[in-house]
Structure formats: C-alpha cells, structure tokens
C-alpha cells in the first residue's frame, strides 16, 4: 500500500513540476531567453510532454531560438501527436501534415497519403484550418482525386469557423 501511495505522490508531483517547467519555458521564450526556453522544452519534450513537444517542434520548423531543422520538427511533432493533449495533437497533426505535403524534412514515398490522414485527424479534432487544407486539395485535385462536393463541404466547415479565404472560395464555386 505504501508503494502505491509513494508512486501516486511521485506521479502527481511530476505532473505539477512539468507544468511549472512548461510555464517557465513559455515565459523564457516570450522574454527572448532562447537558451533557457529551448533547454526546458527539449527536456520536457524528451519526457513526452505533448505541449512542450509541440512548441519545441514549432521552434525547429520556424527556426525560432534554434536552427531551423525540419527533421527535428517532424520528430517532436510526432511526440506531440502521440501525446494525450487534444490541443497539441490537433495542431501537431496539421503542422506535421504540412511538412509532409511540402516534403520538408523527409522523403518517404507515402508522405502525401499520411499527410491527408493527419489533416483529417486534425479536422476531426476540431482544427478548422485542416478543413481549409483538405478543401483545397480536393478542389484542385492535388495528390487526390478531384471532388468539388467534398471540397465544398470542407470549405463550409472552414467558413463557419470564420476562415475568410474559405468563404471567398465558396462564393466562387458553382452551386
């Protein structure tokens, strides 16, 4: 019984400690303390902290506080994607899908297929920008069979989420 209490207490302390560390990393990044933020994000991301993994991946993708490195971005987006935080998962699925579509950081032959699945997941988790992306690829027939009806459905979702570009595209599509 003592062991169970000890491990439960340790786990709870770890969760609070990692949340405090995450907040420290965000604060350091916002204060342009790149060394501190990247050290903390790296540590937490390597411990599978999904929010830290997403932020660290984004830093690599954009070259913010670290050298731009798409392979590293993909690696840490994968960690965020496999985590239990829905917000991080939906954003990581979208960003990773974008890297796959644009062939940044890899060259696997099935990247487009996986990118579509990731954008579908991101959309299912409530990220409207993913619906915009899916609408675009279906409308243009990019890497997938053209389907104006499906494109219209995705643009409707994105437009309802106040993505102006989706509303403009919808207004130009034939009914």
Structural fold of domain 2-126? 1.25.40
Each residue of 38-47: pLDDT tens digit?
999 999 999 9
Of 120, 124, 111, the closest CA to residue 138 belongs to 120
pLDDT score for 171: 93
* pLDDT band for position 143 (cuts 50, 70, 90): confident
Q: What are the extents of the domains in the chain?
A: 2-126
Are residues 102 and 61 in contact, defined by beta-carbon separation less than 8 angstroms? no
- 41 in the Ramachandran plot: left (φ > 0), alpha (ψ -120 to 50) or beta? alpha
Each residue of 69-83: pLDDT tens digit?
999 999 999 999 999
């Amino acid at each position: 019984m003592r062991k169970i209490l000890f491990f439960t207490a340790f786990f709870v302390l770890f969760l609070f400690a990692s949340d405090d560390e995450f907040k420290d990393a965000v604060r350091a990044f916002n204060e342009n303390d790149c060394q501190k933020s990247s050290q903390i994000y790296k540590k937490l991301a390597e411990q599978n902290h999904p929010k830290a993994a997403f932020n660290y991946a984004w830093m690599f993708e954009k070259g913010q506080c670290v050298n731009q490195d798409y392979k590293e971005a993909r690696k840490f987006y994968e960690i965020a994607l496999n985590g239990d935080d829905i917000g991080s998962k939906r954003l990581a699925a979208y960003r990773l899908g974008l890297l796959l579509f644009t062939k940044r950081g890899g060259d696997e032959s099935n990247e487009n297929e996986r990118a579509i699945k990731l954008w579908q997941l991101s959309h299912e988790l409530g990220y409207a920008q993913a619906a915009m992306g899916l609408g675009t690829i279906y409308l243009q027939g990019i890497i997938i069979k053209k389907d104006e009806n499906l494109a219209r459905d995705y643009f409707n979702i994105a437009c309802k989420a106040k993505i102006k570009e989706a509303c403009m595209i919808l207004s130009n599509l034939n009914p």
